[in-house]
Amino acid sequence: MDRIIDAIEWCAATFVGIVAANIFISVILRKFFSWQIPDSYDFGKMMLGTLIFWGIAATSYRGGHITVDLVWTAANVRWKRAIDVFATIVLLFVVTVQTIMLFDKVRSTFVEHVLTYDLNIATWPFYAIAWLGDVSAVVLIAIRTYRLVFHPEQLVEVSAVKANE
């Protein structure tokens, strides 16, 4: 399971690099050469969406997303674990529904043959890659839920990692 988790996190990191490179190269070309990459705006927009969905996968497993821990901080260890399990199950449900709805968007862009503006490239593969990120999020949240319930010692919380650094 750890190899799957690492592979998904590497995919998310790769999309960060692609988005950053697209923006950097586009700015340099416009500023110094008065030329732009065809469809760079469309690619950037779709890759940013892809990055968001793959980022959800990475942060959901590690527990690195924004949280409000007012009640959790005041609770004892048993209640903290119960809150964590409940919150992760709710997150799993929400992201699963989101994944189903995003698949509908992939299907509709395929059926409607939506194309980019300059190069007339089909947009559905970009939506499909984003959807795979959402599927990865569901898988990682399911793994997190399983580990939280049956093997909580296998989870490395972000706060614990920061405390050790």
Cα 162 → chain centroid: 21
Q: Name the residue among 125, 103, 100 with its Cα closest to residue 114.
A: 125
Residue whose entry in the numeric block shows the structure tokens 């490395």: 156
Show the tokens assigned to 122: 């089909």
If one counts the domains in the chain, the total is 1
pLDDT for 13-49, tens place per residue? 888 898 899 999 999 999 999 998 898 888 888 988 8
| Per-residue DSSP letter, 117 | S
The domain of 108 spans 2-164
pLDDT at 159 over 70: no
What's this model's pTM, rounded to 2 decimal places? Answer: 0.79
More confident residue, 99 or 75: 99
Separation CA 90–CA 36 (nearest Å): 44
Query: Is pLDDT larger for residue 163 or for residue 41?
Result: 41
What is the pLDDT at residue 158? 44
Cα–Cα distance measured from residue 1 to residue 161, given in angstroms and rounded to the nearest whole number = 20
pLDDT at 65: 61
Residue 82: the pLDDT is 87
Cα(160)–Cα(2) distance, integer angstroms: 18
